[in-house]
Amino acid sequence: MPKVLIATEKPFAAAAVQKIKAEFDAAGYPQSWLESYADPKDLHAAVADAEALIIRSDKVDEAVFAAAPQLKIVVRAGAGYDNIDLAAATAHNVVAMNTPGQNSNAVAELALAMMIYMARGKFNGKSGSELAGKKLVLYGFGFVARYLAKMAIGVGMEVFAYDPYLSSEIMTKEGVTALHKVEDIFSTGDYISLHIPATAETKKSINWSLLSLVKDSCILVNTARKEVIDEDALLKAFADKPKFRYVSDVEPDCSAQLAELYPDRSYWTPKKMGAQTGEANVNAGVAAARQIIAFFEKGDKTYKVN
């Protein structure tokens, strides 16, 4: 039976570990677990005899594939797969998959929580503001954005979205107004929430020509990837717009400057927390296990991304 390695620098919750084990045990697949490792060499050693690999945000690059001669499939238990070198996967005949939608509700809840945290001045005891009646613009309208739209409508926000890959009807059906130009995102939102992947096209794409358009009191929410932001432009937005705020589910590279110059107007989680719930870990981890089993048993490649 194929041997599976579950390598998670940021481990799954105990309940998820148990359920993933149960899936593989029932199928008779032997597993090994590498959790909380700090050195990529530990991953290289652990993957040597693995035919299948489950990861989260763990980096899977050429060096990992080169160290894994038996590997047939790698599944990213989560949505974003910018941590996998897809060209290297293909060159090594490895199928790469993600588990779309499985952890999205957790990320959407964190985005809403971070919006409230900033609106209430990081709970500093002074008067803040409410989300109700404000305009939220979602940049990208995938699973996370759709969950967030529902919640935001529930608290009385007016919700807009821009997604160049989707038709307006999909947004209208969810009670969201479609925007048609990327510039409109930045000029419309009291809150702007990013839901785009980090790709060659999107990296540093949130630049000054877009950030210069934001309202003075705009709150920019990033539960996507830090790489999509041009941080020079971000710092310029802080300097130019005295009420502009930024909240992020990952530490920006310019964190030292933000902490020194704009501590009240910025916040980031110490470690990516969006998908860190027991429920999301169970959903994404079990989906990854099932996808691996379906791949070996039936040749199912439904969620292949390379």
Q: Per rule CB under 6 A, is residue 79 in the interface with ligand 3PG?
A: yes
CA nearest 288: which of 55, 92, 15? Answer: 55
Q: Considering beta carbons, is residue 56 or 265 the nearer one to ligand 3PG?
A: 56
For ligand 3PG, give the closer residue by CB, 138 or 275.
275
Nearest residue (beta carbon) to ligand 3PG: 78
**Is 157 within 8 Å of 132 (Cβ atoms)?**
yes
SS3 54: strand
Please state the closest distance from residue 278 (CB atom) to ligand 3PG, in A.
Answer: 13
For the chain, the first-to-last Cα distance in angstroms comes to 24
Whole-number CA gyration radius for the chain: 20
Among 5, 68, 103, 229, binds ligand 3PG (CB under 6 A): 103
Decide: is 2 part of the binding site for ligand 3PG (CB under 6 A): no
For ligand 3PG, give the closer residue by CB, 2 or 274: 274
**Judged by CB, which is closer to ligand 3PG: 96, or 157?**
96
Whichever of 47 and 77 has its CB closer to ligand 3PG, that residue is: 77
Decide: is 272 part of the binding site for ligand 3PG (CB under 6 A): yes
Residue 245 engages ligand 3PG in binding (rule: CB under 6 A): no
Q: Report d(CA 169, CA 186) in Å as an integer.
A: 22
Smaller CB separation from ligand 3PG, 75 or 237: 75
Question: Are 56 and 10 a contacting pair, CB within 8 Å?
Answer: yes
Residue for token pair 């009420």: 243
State which of residues 274, 277, 288, 289 lies at the interface with ligand 3PG (CB under 6 A): 274
Torsion angles phi and psi, residue 248, rounded to 5: -140, 145
Q: What's the closest the beta carbon of residue 19 comes to ligand 3PG, in angstroms?
A: 16
Q: 59-63: list long-range contacts, CB under 8 Å, 24+ apart.
A: 59/83, 60/84, 60/85, 60/89, 61/85, 61/88, 62/88
Query: In the complex, what is the shortest distance from the CB of residue 114 to ligand 3PG, in angstroms, rounded to a whole number?
Result: 14
Cα distance between residue 304 and residue 72, in whole Å? 12
Q: Which candidate, 299, 286, 295, places its Cα nearest to that of 6? A: 286
Q: Give the residue with the Cβ less far from ligand 3PG, 19 or 120.
A: 19
If one asks whether residue 74 binds ligand 3PG (CB under 6 A), the answer comes out as: no
**Contact residues for ligand 3PG, defined by CB under 6 A:** 10, 56-57, 78-80, 103, 272, 274-276
